[in-house]
Structure 1
Amino acid sequence: MKAYELGPQTGLESLTPTTRPDPVAGYGEVVLKVRLVALNNRDIQVLEGRYGAKKAENRIPVSEGVGEVVQVGEGVTSVALGDRAVFAHFANWIDGDFALNNFGTDYGITHDGWLAEYIKVPGAALVKVPDSLSDEQVAPLASSALTAWHAVVEVGKVKAGDTVLALGTGGVAIWALQIAKAAGAKVVITSSSDEKLELARKLGADVTINYRKTPDWASEVQKATGGADIIVETGGTGTQAQSVLAAAANGRIVFISVAPAEGAPAPNVGLIIYKNLVLKGIAEGSRAMLARLLRAIELHQIQPVIDSTFTFDDVPAAYAYLKSGSHVGKVLIRVAD
């Protein structure tokens, strides 16, 4: 099969095309023929050696996609030949609380990922895709969408009438917007780009704030909404203090990014106590969460924001385009029809 490997991880030029034997399903395993994959920011970080320790140079990257079942090992009951399926990239996190050993089965990081013609995975991790959903609707679910679902629904316990604040217009923030609107919530989006804020409004954002023009965006959130019940904190240390200021009493702030910001003020712990806030860090989500997300996508027919789709031969160009930051929405790679 054709595939791409990480190489020395010194930059995008490290990505190396290769040919390998087709995988064979063992007991409890399934082989998927890869149809469509989606890139995420961490795929750039990995290639540049900025995502923890360097990975094996022969690791196949990318952590989300959709494939067709072409081999089913003995003992597998979750899918059948011909089904389309997806899986959360922490493949051993089936249900329940997160455990540190989930980091040991991170597809695209510790195990070979989606950037190949075939991928072999544990059958227990797979979620069957209903016929009513397209490849484009489900390929981008297992990373940024699942993280947003975890934040807004599983931790945030969103309900109609809540106010949800999502920082920026990256993949997690846009998914948080769409998931929150489907639940009947009011959504606030921040960005430095008026063009991207216009897109957010078209997707249903109720309040949009350009944080370059309004540096004290927390006050603007309070003024417009009375405070956010759920905050999807993707900004890192540079925004955490303002997120605490922007929160309503009993608000839930879900930390996803640890991006550093030199000289950033620390969150006011006294205010956290005064407002009775809940602060929680999360890492992606479980198979059970992905199954619930998939049902919500089907019920509400949520359409992901897709910027562009590249061919398998144009994978380096897809990475370069993602790194340029000029995209709005997901960058996809079509591997097979």
Structure 2
Amino acid sequence: MKAWQKQGLGLENIKLVEIETPKPGAKQILMKVKAVSLNFRDKAIVDGVYIPDLMNNKTFVPVSDASGEVISVGSEVTKFKVGDRVTSHMFTKWIQGKPSPDDSLYSIGGPNDGGLAEYMLLDEDTAVSTPNNLTDEEASTLPIAALTVWFSLVEYGNIKAGETVLVLGTGGVSVYAVQIASALGAKVIVTSSSDEKLAQVKSLGADEVINYGKTPDWEKEVLKLTNGNGADHILEVVGGESINRSIEAVAMQGNIYVIGFLGGMMAEVNLFALLAKQVKIHGINVGHKKAFDDMQRAFNQLNIKPVIDTVYPFEQAIEAYKHLQRGAFGKIVIRVSE
């Protein structure tokens, strides 16, 4: 089969190769990949900054998020049959409850083979049925971006209608945050440096927007927009010094979900402000399989349609990565097959 393979660091070392089509083990299914979507994780792996001790010296098929059709099943598989539409889940051992310290060892798209290939193996216990109302391209955007938001707001945050959610940026996770929070009845505030993108998030359900290019002290603006109360939930995708701005913008006993590190992995935190507000800071690393199943069912009810910026053909995977690095509104998808 044709596959893109990470053979070193940097995009120049993502190579299109011919490798043997895998065969499913007893509890595995073989999926014909129809589409994959890219995440910041994929870029970080290429850059050599995502769990470097585990990823940097490994050769594997990248990209964890994939959707397609079952074409073969192992001898002990009972949950899926040939012809079923399925979507991947990155953590193949995290079914529910607390994560394990070694979950990353078993994740797909690094260090184990992912979906940027014509065929992909999935474990029966962690494959997810694709919602009937989504195309494969749309479903491929769910496993990291949507589940990360769902796990933050629903599993950890126990979000309630009427609460305020602050969303930083307009990338794949952030756009899903606007859609999910709005669908669950929250008031949504979004920051961006682009008036065009802010207009787009307004159309997706955002109530208030802040252009941080024009209003650099966005955290103070959040307090103004919430009558001094702050946001109950903050999706923190920037990291670095942004964490202290989020602490200033959050409500008393509010939740900050640390999802990304676009602005840096290290931060000096104002501990007094943290203590004074009794803030709950959650480190978020996607979520477990049970939450994915719950989210899939909810998406059918909430009528959330994924926002896709651009769909690239399989042969242009490198261009898709470059687009991800430039930034996108919503998700970057690669169509692997029809």
Question: Aligning the two structures, in what range does the TM-score lie when normalised by the shorter sequence?
Answer: over 0.9
Greater alpha carbon shift after TM alignment, 154-163 vs 266-275: 266-275
CA shift, 1:130, in A, is 3.3
- Aligned partner of 2:248 in structure 1 is 245
8 A contact 1:7–1:14 mirrored in 2: yes
Residues of 2 paired with 1:129 and 1:248: CA distance?
A: 37
CA shift, 1:48, in A, is 2.6
CA shift, 1:140, in A, is 0.3
- Aligned partner of 1:276 in structure 2 is 278
Q: Please point out which of 288, 298, 303 is paired with 2:305.
A: 303
Deviations 1:98-119 (A, max 9, x none): 2211111110111100000000
- Write the letter of the residue equivalent to 2:105: G
Residues of 2 paired with 1:56 and 1:122: CA distance?
A: 24
Matched, 1:76 2:108: no
Q: Secondary structure at the match of 2:324?
A: helix
Q: Please point out which of 249, 258, 265 is paired with 2:261.
A: 258
8 A contact 2:259–2:284 mirrored in 1: yes
Change (3 A) 1:27 1:262: closer
- Aligned partner of 2:39 in structure 1 is 40
8 A contact 1:32–1:67 mirrored in 2: yes
CA shift, 1:126, in A, is 1.0
Deviations 1:125-175 (A, max 9, x none): 111123333223311001111111111111111111010011111111111
- Aligned partner of 2:314 in structure 1 is 312
1:1-337 to structure 2, matched below 5 A, reads 1-9=1-9, 11-53=10-52, 54-225=55-226, 226-260=229-263, 266-325=268-327, 327-337=328-338
CA shift, 1:5, in A, is 0.4
CA shift, 1:272, in A, is 2.2
CA shift, 1:209, in A, is 0.7
CA shift, 1:74, in A, is 2.1
Q: Secondary structure at the match of 1:158?
A: coil
Residues of 2 paired with 1:269 and 1:50: CA distance?
A: 27
Change (3 A) 1:260 1:136: closer
- Write the letter of the residue equivalent to 2:6: L
- Structure 1: gaps of 5 or more residues: none
Greater alpha carbon shift after TM alignment, 59-68 vs 127-136: 127-136
8 A contact 2:253–2:277 mirrored in 1: yes
8 A contact 1:64–1:142 mirrored in 2: yes
Residues of 2 paired with 1:36 and 1:92: CA distance?
A: 23
- Write the letter of the residue equivalent to 1:230: H
- Write the letter of the residue equivalent to 1:274: A
- Structure 2: gaps of 5 or more residues: none
Residues of 2 paired with 1:121 and 1:262: CA distance?
A: 31
Change (3 A) 1:55 1:97: same
Residues of 1 paired with 2:40 and 2:248: CA distance?
A: 28
TM-score (norm 2): 0.94
Change (3 A) 1:258 1:311: closer
CA shift, 1:263, in A, is 10
Across the aligned residues of Structure 1 and Structure 2, the Cα RMSD in angstroms comes to: 1.7
Residues of 1 paired with 2:221 and 2:193: CA distance?
A: 15
Residues of 2 paired with 1:167 and 1:129: CA distance?
A: 28
Change (3 A) 1:64 1:261: closer
Greater than 6 Å deviation, 4+ residue runs: none
